[in-house]
Structure 1
Amino acid sequence: MSTETTRNPRITPATDSAATDRAAFGSDWEAWHAGHEKQRASEHGFLAITGLHFLTEEPQRFEDAPGAWSATAAGPVVDLAEGEELGLDAGPLTGRHAFGPIAERAGLNAIAGNAVIEVAKRGGHIVVRPRHPDTAFRAAYQGTPTYLPNPRWVVDARYLPFETPREVTVGASVEGLQHVYEAPGEIEFELRGETFRLTVFNGYVPGSFLVLFTDATSGITTYAANRTVSVAAPDASGVTSIDFNRAVNLPCAYTDYATCPLPPAENRLPIGIEAGEKTPLDRITVEL
């Protein structure tokens, strides 16, 4: 070993474990977010929606979907004129077709050429939401701006289950609409020396949670109405973590054709969460 090296020991960034971990953290986040953006901009994703139609008892026709649509006590019905056709897993549909009951927050997709016609139930209403892959908005989409990923926004959390799950009613991005979710409990975490609690809803993976929230950045650098972050199932002692770097926008940040839920009042954080996705640069606005 030379005298110079002995007097001036240095650790280069390539061998600095903290720097390496930070680089790995950022790389992992980049891969995750790229996948999230790809799904968002998929050919029949929310960027491809061309309308949000609330069905009534009176049959209605829409420019972006074949057939005359109505809502009955037994579920949605479509009447297809001669030359009109839809496709379902069971095969092609012609004439009159009754879809049967649809559960809240459930739905089905019918095929019309290269388009998907979503038929769903939201807030007690049956809606038809066509998705056309050739929309100008989808073609022009260049991604969502974000904060730089930072491990400091990964916080330990403790799950506090309710004695029995509670029904929580929240507003929606569509005026007059409400959603009811089952909340199994809360998660508690500390940030900047303060303790906070958030009501959680059941996530897409069994045992996991979904958190709707706003914070002090909402309406400034992040979307005003809501953001959401998924939380992994807690371990046997109730411990989990929240990675706010993976806080994402809901579809209503991009389109007025969404029915997204708003956070419950207790999930409006008084501090700024400078992590995750920011306000989109563009959106689809309904022309009234």
Structure 2
Amino acid sequence: MDELVGEWQAWREERERGLRAPHGWLAITAIHWLTDESQRFDDVPGSWTGRDHEASVSLAAGESLSLDGRVLGTGTHRIGPFDDLGLRLAFGDAVAQVAARDDQVILRPRHPDSPNLTAYRETPCYPPDLDWVLRARYEPYAEPDGDAIGEVAFEHGGSAHRLVAWDADDGSLWLLFRDATSGVTTYAALRQLVTAPPAPDGTVELDFNRAYNLPCAYTDFATCPVPPPANTLPFAVDAGEQIPLLV
């Protein structure tokens, strides 16, 4: 139990550091959807257009941005192509993320003095509990179902349960779920859990003590997925992160 608590505490402290980062999710001041029509915004230099995984910014005299250490000055600059994670451009003590969302392009400025970051207090958590470390079995699909690659099967409270799983890119499994705490003590839309890679026999550990919020729990300027109906658990997962405190 002492090992569980120590590792969980380190995990929680790392989470809090990330949430309080000056250019993290809480620092976002807006989400701007770029179009073919040039637009200027209050929280980022330049006049912007964007489509098809690329953007263009026109900077007036006295405006500048920095991309990978290269200063972009007065004039028009093409940026991209980029993926869903996008690229970050620096200006002053802030950055702006430009990224793809299907066939659209978003621009998200991040300022260390954003009202949301200033208002953030903490993310309460349930105390770590060994009872929420569950043994499960990963059952891959014969063929991926969209982005889903399989399911994890486990028992809780004497009943069998299953969760659809996605690939976390390194052999780990990514689970999105709701439960009876959703909208009560935990964020209403969903929480997430990333497992270690399954063992060769399919065995995988579900440590719900590390269930954590997606960015949409902290800002209206995030674009988060939703879990399928099958991933709504009929019991309360009294473990992991709760509703963030933003006051």
* CA offset digits 1:107-166 (Å, max 9, x no partner): 110111111100011243210000001223323422101111101001011110011122
Q: CA deviation at 1:74?
A: 6.3
Q: What TM-score results when the alignment is normalised by the length of structure 2?
A: 0.95
Q: CA deviation at 1:215?
A: 0.5
Secondary structure at 1:216's aligned position in 2? coil
Write 1 or 2 for the structure with the bigger share of strand: 2
The structure 2 residue matched to 1:187, chosen from 133, 149, 152, is 152
Secondary structure at 1:158's aligned position in 2? strand
Partner of 1:157: 136
Partner of 1:245: 209
Secondary structure at 1:142's aligned position in 2? strand
Q: What TM-score results when the alignment is normalised by the length of structure 1?
A: 0.82
Q: CA deviation at 1:224?
A: 0.4
Contact kept, 8 Å, 2:66 with 2:89, in 1: the verdict is yes
* CA offset digits 1:243-273 (Å, max 9, x no partner): 0000001111111111111111111111111
Amino acid aligned to 2:162? R
Given the superposition, is the C-alpha separation of residues 88 and 65 from structure 1 closer, same or farther in structure 2, using an over 3 Å criterion? Answer: same
The whole-number CA distance in structure 2 between the counterparts of 1:150 and 1:25 is 8
The structure 2 residue matched to 1:272, chosen from 232, 236, 241, is 236
The structure 1 residue matched to 2:221, chosen from 254, 257, 260, is 257
Determine whether 1:101 maps to 2:65. no
The whole-number CA distance in structure 1 between the counterparts of 2:239 and 2:102 is 30
The structure 2 residue matched to 1:79, chosen from 47, 55, 58, is 58
Determine whether 1:52 maps to 2:31. yes
The whole-number CA distance in structure 1 between the counterparts of 2:110 and 2:28 is 4
Amino acid aligned to 1:101? P
Q: Return the structure number with greater relative CO, CA threshold 8 A, min gap 6.
A: 2
Amino acid aligned to 1:85? S
The structure 2 residue matched to 1:222, chosen from 186, 189, 192, is 186
- After superposing on structure 2, the runs of 4+ consecutive aligned residues of structure 1 that deviate more than 3 Å are none
* Structure 2: gaps of 5 or more residues: none
Which segment drifts farther, 219-228 or 73-82?
A: 73-82
Partner of 1:36: 15
The whole-number CA distance in structure 1 between the counterparts of 2:104 and 2:51 is 11
- Tell me the C-alpha RMSD between the 2 structures: 1.4
The whole-number CA distance in structure 2 between the counterparts of 1:74 and 1:143 is 35
Q: CA deviation at 1:93?
A: 1.0
* Aligned sequence identity (%): 46
Q: CA deviation at 1:187?
A: 0.9
Secondary structure at 2:66's aligned position in 1? strand
The whole-number CA distance in structure 2 between the counterparts of 1:127 and 1:62 is 13
* CA offset digits 1:196-244 (Å, max 9, x no partner): 111111115x100111110111011111001001111001111111100
* CA offset digits 1:155-185 (Å, max 9, x no partner): 0111100111221xxxxxxxxxxxxxx1111
